[in-house]
Amino acid sequence: MKWVVSLGAPLAAVGLGAGIARYAPLDGAVALAWGQHLVVPLWVTLMCVLPLQKSVARAWLVCLGCATPGLVGLAQGVLG
């Protein structure tokens, strides 16, 4: 569980924040502001919530779910 809390939480928070900045149906600067400023609260919330999951696998799944928008954005950027 310690790995998912220490590594999964920040990656998921940044992924979700980047996803908001990229896909939120808002003006570009507003979306960036929301995405950037939500990273810290998301990170802290995930660190507090992940240990409550019933299993480590489920905790990783939560992280993956949060990070998906960022990962999709990253793939789009890399693949052009």
Partner 1 sequence: MKFSPRTFRAEWDLHAWSGVIASLFLFVMFFSGVFALFHEELHAWQDPRSRGEPTAALAPVDFEALFAWVKAHGEPAVGSHVGVYAEADSHLAYGWMSDEKTGAEENWAWNRVTGETVPEITRVADELYYLHFFHRVPGGLEFSGVLGVLLLVATVTGVVIHLKDLKRQFWQFRSEMRARYSGSDAHKVLGIFGLPFVIVLGWSGVLLCLSTIVGGAFTWAAYDGKPEKIEELRSGGVPARFPSGQPAPAFSANELARRAQRAAEADELPVTLNVSGFGDEVSTVYAHFDRHGFEPERGVVLDGRTGEVLRSESKSEPVPGAAFERLLFDLHFAHFGGVFTKFVYAALAFAFCAVVVTGNIIWLERRDRERARLGNRILERLTLGVCAGLCVATATYFLANRLLPLDLNARGSVEFGVFLAVWAVAAVIPFFLWKGARQTTRGYAWVAAAFYLLVIVVDFAVESVHLGSFFTRALSKHESEALVFELVIAILGLGSAAVALAQRRSTSPSSSSRSLSSVLPPASA
Q: Which has the closest alpha carbon to 10: 48, 39, 52, 38? A: 39
Within a 10 A sphere around the Cβ of 15, how many other Cβ atoms?
A: 24
7 binds partner 1 (CB under 8 A): no
Which residues are CB-neighbours of 23 under 8 A, at least 6 positions away? 69, 73
CB of 64 to partner 1, least distance (A): 15
Q: Which has the closest alpha carbon to 20: 34, 37, 41, 40? A: 34
* Site pattern 19..58 for partner 1 (x: CB under 8 A): x-xx----xxxx-xxxxxx-xxx-xxx-xx--xx------
71 binds partner 1 (CB under 8 A): yes
Query: Can you give the binding site for partner 1, defined by CB under 8 A?
Result: 5, 10, 14-15, 17-19, 21-22, 27-30, 32-37, 39-41, 43-45, 47-48, 51-52, 70-71, 73-74, 76-78
